[in-house]
Structure 1
Amino acid sequence: MTRTARELLETTTRELAPDPRSNPLVPLIARGEADRATLAALALEQRWVIPADRTAFLHLAERSAAAPETAAYFTALADGEALAAGHLEVFAAACGVDATRAEAYDPLPGCQSYPAYVAWLALNAEPADIVLALTANFSAWGGYCATIAGALRTHYGFTDEACAFFDFFAEPAPGLDDAGVKAVRAALDEGRLDEHRAQRYARLLQRYEAMFWSALREHP
């Protein structure tokens, strides 16, 4: 029996859920054991990730001009990154990051491997496959953000405004979910989706995500 687009998205997300042990940093933040220098490094790395991902999503939207449902999905992602960028600056400021510190910071290769791979996908992969791969990865990212948002309030005394970056990604996004379903449904109907290839992309995204957190954990 052929699965629906929503069933395919849900099954892929469930089957590719990361090993909880693959993230060594978020549990430390959850317990209040990560120092503020690590939180600042998180903010500084995300200042590189967010604009890079937004550019990749805008490029994917352009590549998907002939597939309006797919283009709408990537446009929604790009719009979300733009909103998140504003929240990120508030979080960074709460971590003591100013323009001078940001300018002097050298990003970690292990952290920037994720956006580099997203950029590779944007240039080389079938956009419909990327929809499925990203959706599977976003579920784990949202869970991490929810944990961090709670810990920042409980253990670090951050304000709601300073936590808004993580709240943004932690909160359900029905509109984005619906856009993803529509994009996958259209791709299935038109034969543009390779499930095996999309899962391969998703597994790599998860490994690069794990590298991000491991690199931050090891950062002096």
Structure 2
Amino acid sequence: MTVNPLVSLIARGEADRTTTLAALALEQRWVIPADRRAFLHLAQRAASDAPESAAFFTLLAEGEALAEERLGAFAAACGVTKASAAAYQPLPGCQAYPAYVAWLALNAAPAEAVLALTANFSTWGGYCATIAEALRRHYGFTDEACAFFDFFAEPSADLDRKATAAIRAGRDAGQVDEERARRYGHLLQSYEELFWSTLRGPVPRA
């Protein structure tokens, strides 16, 4: 897994709760619903000629809804209030990731989007597992406050099966350009890195 300076900072308990961790929560309040809508759009696009991809994106969208339900407890543990959440201005470097997911939802062949997204899942899941452990160890967060990260850290066999089926069906149908899918995946991972590096710099107090 790529070394992530911010995740390493959190792992050591050195990230500030009311600035850096709060900003992470607040940025995710924008990312999660945006990704969910993008996945629903991809599922709709794929429904007629790529049902395996549609099933994958439907499951992803359902997962984002569950994650959103868990995010509030993490935000509250970081000191985020309704007023500070309403006043928060999202950081462009953090929102580049969901913006590109939305681009994929509009432009990428569904099976190619599956490939691009799954390439980043293990990295994201590893980050979440590290953060969840650190929040308990160094910050005294409850299981409820860590549930958002626990959710993404837990491997999903069902999601893996659906991704494999979607990619196989897309290849069999000639709907996958491997080089283009790799390009999408590279950009997505670059925007993921930009998300974390943006939060690693100075962030506004929530």
TM range (shorter): over 0.9
Among the aligned pairs, what percent are the same residue?
72
CA distance in 1, matches of 2:35, 2:201: 24
CA distance in 1, matches of 2:178, 2:71: 34
Tell me what 2:37 maps to.
55
Aligned pair partner of 1:39 in 21, 24, 37: 21
Shift of residue 189 of structure 1? 1.1
Matched, 1:77 2:94: no
Amino acid of the residue matched to residue 28 of structure 1? L
Give the TM-score, by structure 1 length.
0.90
Which residues of 2 match residues 85-164 of structure 1 at below 5 A?
Answer: 85-164=68-147
Shift of residue 24 of structure 1? 1.9
Deviation per residue, 1:164-216 (Å, 9 max, x gap): 00000000100101110110111111111111111100100111001000110
Shift of residue 90 of structure 1? 1.0
More displaced stretch, 186-195 vs 45-54: 186-195
CA distance in 1, matches of 2:114, 2:37: 16
- After superposing on structure 2, the runs of 4+ consecutive aligned residues of structure 1 that deviate more than 3 Å are none
User: SS state of the match for residue 25, structure 1?
Assistant: helix
CA distance in 2, matches of 1:64, 1:100: 39
Amino acid of the residue matched to residue 108 of structure 1? L
CA distance in 1, matches of 2:181, 2:123: 17
CA distance in 1, matches of 2:120, 2:7: 16
Shift of residue 147 of structure 1? 0.2
CA distance in 1, matches of 2:36, 2:142: 26
CA distance in 1, matches of 2:23, 2:59: 27
CA distance in 2, matches of 1:98, 1:61: 34
Aligned pair partner of 1:212 in 186, 195, 201: 195
Count of matched residue positions in the alignment of Structure 1 and Structure 2: 201
User: SS state of the match for residue 158, structure 1?
Assistant: coil
Tell me what 2:5 maps to.
24
Give the TM-score, by structure 2 length.
0.96
- Segments of structure 2 that go 5 or more residues without pairing to the other structure are none
Shift of residue 94 of structure 1? 1.0
Shift of residue 219 of structure 1? 2.5
Matched, 1:178 2:161: yes
User: SS state of the match for residue 97, structure 1?
Assistant: coil
CA distance in 2, matches of 1:159, 1:39: 15
The RMSD of aligned alpha carbons is 0.8
